[in-house]
Structure 1
Amino acid sequence: MVSPLDHKLLRDLWRMKGQAMAIGMVIAVGVGMLVMMTGLVTSLNETRAAYYERYRLADVFAPVTRAPDRLAGRLAAIDGVRSVEARVIGGALIDLDGIDLPVQAQAVSLPDLRNPRLNGVFLTDGRMIDRDRTDEILLLQSFAMAHGLRPGDRIQATMNGARRGFRIVGLAQSPEFLYTTAPGELIPDDARFGVIWMSRSALAAAYDMEGAFNEALLSLTRGANPAAVQEAVDRILIPYGGTGAYPLADQTSNRFVSEEISGLEAAAAGVPPVFLAVAAFLLYIVINRMVQSEREEIGLMKAFGYTNTEVGGHYFKLVMAIAIGGALAGCLMGIAGGRALIHIYIAYFKFPFLVFQLDPASFVTGVSVSILSASVGGMLVLRSVFALTPATAMRAPAPADYSRTGKMGRALNVWLDQPSRMVVRRITRQPGRMAGAMIGIACGMALCVSMITIYAGFDRTIDLTFNVIDRSDVMVSFNQDVSETAIFNLRRMEGVTLVEPVRHVPAILRNGRNSHRGVVTGLAPDARLNRALDNDLAEIPLQKTGIALSTALADILKIRPGDMLTVDVRTGRQPVLQIPVTAVAQSLLGAPAYMDLAALNRVLREPNRVSGAYLSIDQVHASAIYTKLQDMPTVAGVGLKSQAEVAFQTLMNTGAGAIRYVMGAIAFVITFGIVYNAARIAYAERSRDLASLRVIGFTRAETAFVLLGELAIVTLVALPLGGVLGYYLSFSIAAGFSSELYQIPAIFDPASYGFAAMVVIGAAVGSGWLVKRDIDRAELVSALKTRE
């Protein structure tokens, strides 16, 4: 049998269904985002782990210049090594019809008589290669799809300076190439970098590697010490040109996939609590005002013998009904959203199969946190319920004191009409309630500001990277470090207006226990095409005896200007250098380190060496320049900045970056819910007063103005406060989106604040229209009756 209090609970829920649904939606959004994003992270991690295990991705990679095959046995004998795969790899240039620029590729060998022990391939179309046919290859599926290539097609590729013809017999994927970038580049582009798999014997012949290998792959036993294994591998391979073994964590594809998933994890941990906190605040306001408006009903219930616990439990049930309903709806929204988005992420990460798995802990966490946050707000309100005695509660509240308006109020009365004076009196009579509504709307404004600022931050990253820092047209990379004679050859080309040499030196950068595997970039003095800039976008003069680190790299290494940096060079003689940090540079793409080119060559004892060049060209001669570059035997690859910019834009609009659009849409929905709740709460409190105004002769427009004028003033006052809150909130959200691949700045963009203000004002106008409609439809007799 349903008790009278439960009957009242159902009637209260029905009467405030609009507010309850709006608050429940705020809770649902927070829980839904938590469930969705946690499910995405769990699914991606499980799929990645299953993919790596099924196709035996190596635990350690050991590049070497040239090592005899017999060393594979010595590597396999190292304590902690489970299996070893010695292979041949090399750079290639693919010539495609209709494309002026040669496309860079990596050629990878497959064993002749068996499947590879490590780094297997997943055949998506066609068949495997025949070892007796040296012209047969497998091609990376994403690259083939970007260029419309199928099994049976033929392509031309330049390998080790010789042009060869190949027939595609199959398309493949590999866990080693989830994230594919050309050497020296950071931005993935399926159309600009491919992978070719060939038989070991054919590829060894092409690169003069018969009886030798230039990369060893190792898998480790459970409990093995990776650092000890890498040291042992280095001792064996360094005499043969080993450049240092590195773990799977530092493998390019895995590192950036991990960064993208970590970005999702950060967003999953930081964003939903913001929405749940807003929901708890709204519940507190709603229930607090409801208790104040039902003083007489509370007193009557206590007079009839209901205890404080029973009365408090009634209002606590109301809070729990909204919170639990919103949490359950959020769980369903999270499941639906996760299932809708997981296929996008699977395609983005190039996984060949899907292991979709929701994290049960996210459901428990989402429901528990929503109930806990609602309970905290509810308990604060219930204190006032317990404090009310029947005699106090059933007594009418003290009349409003308007004397606090003082001389200002009397001065305003001269200029304001009666409805306007009512609005001013309401605000000055109950400043606490007005402050609560203002803070709620300011929270909505802050959410909008932070998300729109993030949109501007993404645009800022692209603009700074490709229009301010990098002002070149073409990036040329060489097969190996060459003399500066190659730069003079580039300058003599017709149509080349400016050439700047550059050298990329692989190294491990260390500061105490903090380390980073990256490259040191040597720039020409007074560089104009690719520059190191400070936070004010002023050029940083590179010192002859120092190194400048990007902001991201300085944060990774926890280092400041003036500190000494250990640079463990992984090429040539492989010296270990101690170089002072002289500056921190603004860089939003990657984590570069800059040195003066001459100074870098000097400390390496390799004068006049370069590994690439930045070019500014006359577009009229572009096609002829590309043809000449393609014919130069020292050129390993040519990249266009315009193509890189398009690829980077695509990268940031997919994967973890795409979630910003979902969060932005949710922020706008939440903002409307907050403003609508403020309007509905005010209307619920003053419905009898508004009905009384209609009875004594106020028009519908004048009656609505009394209520909506209050909402307008509160909204306008909340805008600057929300702007300040949004400014600081944007820093935490920007940090969640930033990764080692790219950094998103939190910037002050007046247009973002203006647009966010328009969103809040629009929400206020829409909410006001909905509330005015209810005011116009109100039945005066029913509104004037005492409830319950």
Structure 2
Amino acid sequence: MSPLDRKLTRDLWRMKGQALAIAVVMALGVMMQVMMSGLVTSLDETRRSYYERYRLADLAASVVRAPDHLLHRIAALPGVQAVEGRVSGAALIDLPDRAVPVQAQALSLPYDGDPALNAIRLEAGRLFERGKPEEAVLLDSFAAAHGLRPGDTLEATMNGARHSFRITGLARAPEFLYSAAPGEGIPDDARFGVLWLSPAAMAAAFDMDGAFNELLIGLARGAGAQPVTDAVDRVLEPYGSTGAYGREDMFSNRFVSEEIDGLRDSAASIPPIFMAVAAFLLNIVIARMVQAEREEIGLLKAFGYRSGEIGGHYLKLVLAIALLGALMGCLFGILAGRAMVQLYLNFFKFPFLVFRLDPASFAIGIAVSVLAATAGGAIVLRRIFALDPAEAMRPPAPADYSRAGRWRGLTSWLDQPSRMVLRRFTRTPFRMAGAIVGITFGMALSVGMITIQSSFNHAIALNFEVMDRSEAAVTFTHAVSDKVLFELASHPGIERVEGRRDVAVILRNGRQTHRGSITGLPESPVLNRALTPDLEPIHMRREGLVLSSALAAKLKLETGQTLTAEVREGAQPVLELPVMGISDTVMGAPAYMALDGINAALGEPGRITGAALRLDEARADKVYVWLKGLPTVAGVALKQDSREAFERMMNEGAGWSRFIMSAVAFIITFGIVYNAARIALAERSRDLASLRVIGFSRGEAAYVLLGELGLVTLLALPFGAALGAGFAHILAAAYSSELYTVTVVFQPATFGNAALVVLAGAAISGLLVKRDVDRADLVTALKTRD
């Protein structure tokens, strides 16, 4: 081992605590990069292979009723590889453990369970048999939520008739990775089920003998989706088709894609923030260390070592720390990614999900770590190498403190140790500024993550306490007369009723499109409101739309502009509607219009598809029993159930990663403060030893150092708060999607809690450093080369 390598070993051992702290900070940044990139790769690959194995359709279309012989005609269209016609219908499942009926979707399935498209994966039991229409296969996640197993029976109402089914098997399918009740965007296994029934049972229940009402299409390799869509629409138009649509508009795939895209955006924007903070900290440490060893560098040059050899020595030092951090980060990233995979496996109902590493994330993490580590030392070494050995061995020229007297009047009332702390700031302002900037980044990370946590909680409260002031929502099987509102309002236990109408549309603004719905509300809604950013209610307009901020951003629209609404039901008119306002929303990307206005535009006055209810809590259970018996009721959703499901959704998936990042942010914050304290101790060890020799007590000597750390920390807090506000906006944009929108909300407690995190880190770091000050060997610390 060469002398420089032995020096390297001694240096690393001497600064082992600080080196480990820096490596951990670097490791956490790399961990975020590896974990999030790996999750994106894993989810993307698993989704693709799952879709391929079970043949998820590329296109789908709904019709009122079309004869089976059309399937041969559609299969002969250019670009079509596979066709499957099936019967789909709504069902209400009556469970003894629930007061309200549970919405479900009933689907026909061939007896052999092997359709050309949208196959199922049988998890338990068996398929139904011919001649036994009472047998059914149930979605396994719904069965698990209610403790149902093969052999159990359940009651369901379909098309107004009550049926009793015996469960023969449990299954899952790629089209139900993300399952939610119709009209709701929140997944809840307990409140939405799927029944696969025999073709004969479905045909009898929905009067579809020799016909289908849902078409599935698989495209040939290389075929364009739009030409096939247009051709299919022409064939199905006479049969009440609402238009064919691709995978991007299929409910489950749309939201799975949103979640993966949100995670991809987070992986692209969030880890770089953490890695940049870690890189900045490492640069400061390396630059300070190289500057402190200026005389040693001069001595090495005097003994004949070339600048390249000395530079290589320091490069090995920073590379050792950086590589240790990068390798630790890769290991932590793999472990964290595998833990997160289990969460996504349950959230998305994948039958299998293996964490797959993204090689690029390893390369990026290691490269950033190494480049950041070498940058700080290279800048300082460039100046040192330019010196002659004699000049480098000479201590730097003393600074000019002639103007320090201007603080004399201000500091006259301070004791001697306090004046020493203040003089340190006036004599080395740039060095102190570097320490302040480092702690500022730590404070900013804490502010950003605490703000995001508060914003998630605010989003839940805003949606379910301010916007939605109902207790329950009723959905009807079809658009019914608004006279049903009087029937609801007159029933005992229902205190207020507010109707709505949801109309399926395709919204277009030039090349920007969105498949969704327009929700018609009363002109001055009370139970279900759209709000401005200032939380003021928005008056619904008969002549135009109020768009959610997420939808307005997607369609690139502002107030006063006009969009095209292609209605996908009834006579399917094409409407040109102006944007009358933009509302803040939490869930989904809705578009609102006055109820009378949308009914007039469709030429169907006095129609509603649902109602919001305010209930008398004491009589709510009797209301639910009564609603179960109404033939036009497709489902009843309780707001409390929706809230709990929404909280689970926001605390799982991509939203769950905020808990990991909060922990990472707090660890990095402590690492920054601790390293600032260690740097100050390394620079002032001789000064502190001198103070002890001339009579200062251990406490007074430590006060000189810790007072400097405390003052630096306090000065960094306001700057960190301001920078943290910017971080919070970046994080909110990364987490927001069409599923939910996270709006940044700043509260005084946020900055107070973040400050407490930084101050707690400073206090712990101070205690650790004070212990080293108390243990210092005064003789060794005072030794110097004359």
Change in CA separation of 1:329 and 1:114 when aligned onto 2, cut-off 3 Å: closer
Q: What are the equivalent positions in structure 2 for 1:692-703 lying under 5 Å apart?
A: 692-703=690-701
Residues 36-63 of structure 1 show CA distances to partners (whole Å, capped at 9, x for unaligned) of 1111111111111111111111111111
Which of 752, 757, 770 is equivalent to 1:772?
Answer: 770
Deviations 1:553-589 (A, max 9, x none): 0010011111111111111111111101111011111
Amino acid at match of 2:460: I
Q: Which residue in 2 is equivalent to 1:419?
A: 417
How far the C-alpha of 1:206 sits from its partner, in A, is 0.4
Quote the offset at 1:787 in angstroms: 8.1
Residue 532 (structure 2) aligns with: 534
CA distance in 2, matches of 1:277, 1:532: 40
3-state SS of 2:412 partner: helix
Does the CA-based 8 Å contact 2:523-2:541 persist in structure 1?
A: no
Name the SS for the 1:415 alignment partner.
Answer: coil
| Among 483, 486, 489, the residue aligned to 1:488 | 486
Describe the SS at the equivalent of 1:209.
coil
Q: Does 1:48 align with 2:56?
A: no
Contact 1:280-1:377 within 8 A present in 2 as well: no
Counterpart-to-counterpart distance in 2, 1:10 and 1:113: 70
Aligned mates of 2:460, 2:696 — CA distance in 1:
57
Q: Which residue of 1 aligns with 2:744?
A: 746
* Post-superposition offset of 1:670: 0.2
Contact between 1:516 and 1:557, CA under 8 Å: does it hold in 2?
yes
The CA distance in 2 between the partners of 1:185 and 1:396, in whole Å, is: 72
Q: Distance in 1 between matches of 2:414 and 2:546?
A: 64
* Selected match of 2:759 from 748, 758, 761: 761
Structure 2 Cα separation of the partners of residues 736 and 122 of structure 1: 34
Q: Which moved more, 1:213-222 or 1:488-497?
A: 488-497
> Matches of 2:419 and 2:393 in 1, distance apart?
29
Quote the offset at 1:5 in angstroms.
1.9
Structure 1 residue 172 displacement after superposition: 0.7
- Which residue is equivalent to 1:729? 727
User: What CA distance in whole angstroms lies between the structure 2 residues aligned with 1:377 and 1:80?
Assistant: 59
TM-score (norm 1): 0.98
Q: Is the 8 A contact 1:521 1:595 kept in 2?
A: yes
Partner of 1:132: 131
What SS is found at the alignment partner of 1:31?
helix
Please name the residue that 2:348 is paired with: 349
Q: CA deviation at 1:222?
A: 1.1
Which of 672, 675, 678 pairs up with 1:677?
Answer: 675
The answer on 1:179 being equivalent to 2:182 is: no
- For 2:13 and 2:232, locate their aligned partners in 1 and report how far apart those are by CA, in whole Å: 72
Does the 8 Å CA contact 1:276/1:373 hold for their aligned counterparts?
Answer: no
Q: Which residue is equivalent to 2:119?
A: 120
Encode CA deviations 1:57-86: one digit per residue, 9 max, x unaligned.
Answer: 111111111111111111111111110010
1:161 aligned to 2:160? yes
Q: Residue 659 of structure 1 aligns with which residue?
A: 657
Deviates more, 1:639-648 or 1:301-310: 301-310
Tell me the CA shift for residue 397 of structure 1.
Answer: 2.5
**Distance in 1, Cα, partners of 2:341 & 2:466:** 36
Q: Give aligned-pair identity as a percent.
A: 60
Determine helix, strand or coil for the equivalent of 2:711. Answer: helix
Task: Kindly provide the amino acid, as one letter, of the partner of residue 172 in structure 1.
Answer: A
Q: Report if the CA contact (8 A) 2:142-2:193 is conserved.
A: yes
The answer to whether the aligner puts 1:150 opposite 2:153 as a matched pair is no
> CA–CA distance in 1 between the matches of 2:381 and 2:74?
70
Aligned residue number for residue 339 of structure 1? 338
Matching residue of 2:779: 781
1:377 deviation in Å? 2.6
Paired residues for 1:292-311 under 5 Å: 292-311=291-310
Post-superposition Cα deviations, 1:488-535, rounded to whole Å, max 9, x if no partner, equal 211111111111110000111111111111110000121100011111
Letter in 2 for 1:335: I
In 1, distance between residues paired with 2:285 and 2:618? Answer: 68
Q: Which residue identity is paired with 1:740?
A: E
Q: What SS class does the counterpart of residue 752 from structure 1 fall into?
A: helix
Deviation at 1:308, TM superposition (A): 2.3
Secondary structure at the residue paired with 1:253? helix
Q: 1:255: which partner in 2?
A: 254
- What residue number does 1:230 align with? 229
Q: How does 1:48-87 map to 2 (within 5 A)?
A: 48-87=47-86
Aligned partners of 2:113 and 2:120 also within 8 Å: no
Which residue is equivalent to 1:579? 577
Instruction: For structure 2, list consecutive stretches of 5 or more residues without a partner in the other structure.
Output: none
Measure how far apart 1:477 and its partner are. Answer: 0.5
Cα separation, 1, equivalents of 2:645 and 2:333: 30
1:32 CA displacement: 1.1
Residue of 462, 468, 484 corresponding to 1:464: 462
Say which SS state the counterpart of residue 517 (structure 2) adopts. strand
Q: 1:385–1:576: structure 2 CA closer, same or farther, 3 Å change rule?
A: same
What is the rounded CA distance, in whole Å, between the counterparts of 1:193 and 1:331 in structure 2? 40
Q: Are the equivalent residues in 2 in contact too, given 1:312–1:385 (CA < 8 A)?
A: no
8 Å Cα contact 2:113-2:119 kept in structure 1: no
- Alpha carbon RMSD of aligned pairs, Å? 1.3
| Cα shift at 1:400 | 4.0
Deviations 1:88-118 (A, max 9, x none): 0100001111321011100010023562111
Q: What code does the residue aligned with 2:21 have? A: A
Distance 2:397 2:355 in 1: 61
Offset at 1:3?
A: 2.1
Aligned residue-pair number: 786
Q: What residue number does 1:498 align with? A: 496
1:721-768 Cα offsets, whole Å, 9 max, x none, are 000000011000111111110011112111111100000000000000
Cα distance, 1:412 vs. partner? 3.3
Whether contact under 8 Å (1:451, 1:660) holds in the other structure is yes
Q: Distance in 2 between matches of 1:319 and 1:31?
A: 16
> 1:418/1:114 Cα in 2 relative to 1: closer, same or farther (>3 Å)?
closer
Letter of the structure 1 residue corresponding to residue 370 of structure 2: I
TM-score normalised by length of structure 2: 0.98
**Distance verdict in 2 for CA 1:224–1:528, change over 3 Å:** same
The CA distance in 1 between the partners of 2:364 and 2:84, in whole Å, is 44
Aligned AA (1:481): A
Any runs of at least 4 consecutive aligned residues in structure 1 with deviations exceeding 4 A, and if so which? none
Please report how far the alpha carbon of residue 396 of structure 1 lies from its aligned counterpart in structure 2 after TM superposition: 2.6
Determine the structure 2 residue equivalent to 1:37.
Answer: 36
SS at match of 1:172: strand
Shift of 1:405: 2.6
Are the counterparts in 1 of residues 337 and 355 from structure 2 also a CA contact under 8 Å?
Answer: no
Whole-angstrom CA distance in 2 between matches of 1:410 and 1:484: 82
Residue type of the alignment partner of 2:84: E
Whether the 8 Å contact between 1:90 and 1:207 is mirrored in structure 2 is yes
Query: SS of the residue aligned with 1:680?
Result: helix
Shift of 1:316: 2.1
**Equivalent residues in 2 for 1:92-111, closer than 5 Å:** 92-111=91-110
For residue 712 of structure 1, give the secondary structure of its aligned residue in structure 2. helix
Q: Deviations over 1:279-335 (max 9, x none)?
A: 221122112211222221111112222222222222222222211111111111111
CA distance in structure 2 between the aligned counterparts of 1:220 and 1:704, rounded to whole angstroms:
74
SS at match of 1:668: helix
Match in the other structure for 1:366 = 365
- Provide the C-alpha distance between the structure 1 equivalents of 2:10 and 2:115, rounded to a whole number of angstroms: 70
Is residue 283–residue 378 contact of structure 1 (8 Å, CA) maintained in 2? no
Structure 1 residues 398-409: aligned runs within 5 Å? 398-407=397-406, 409=407
The structure 1 residue matched to 2:613, chosen from 612, 615, 627, is: 615
Partner of 2:453: 455
Distance (Å, rounded) in 2 between the aligned partners of 1:707 and 1:283: 21
Other structure's SS at 1:271 match? helix
Alignment partner, residue 320 of structure 2: 321
Deviation at 1:229? 0.9
Give the corresponding residue for 2:374.
Answer: 375
Q: Report the Cα distance in structure 2 between the residues aligned to 1:43 and 1:178, rounded to whole angstroms.
A: 15
Name the residue aligned to 1:188: 187
Aligned residue for 1:392?
A: 391
1:442 aligned partner: 440
Please give the alpha-carbon distance, in whole angstroms, between the structure 2 residues aligned to 1:387 and 1:534.
62
- Greater shift, 486-495 or 447-456, is seen at 486-495
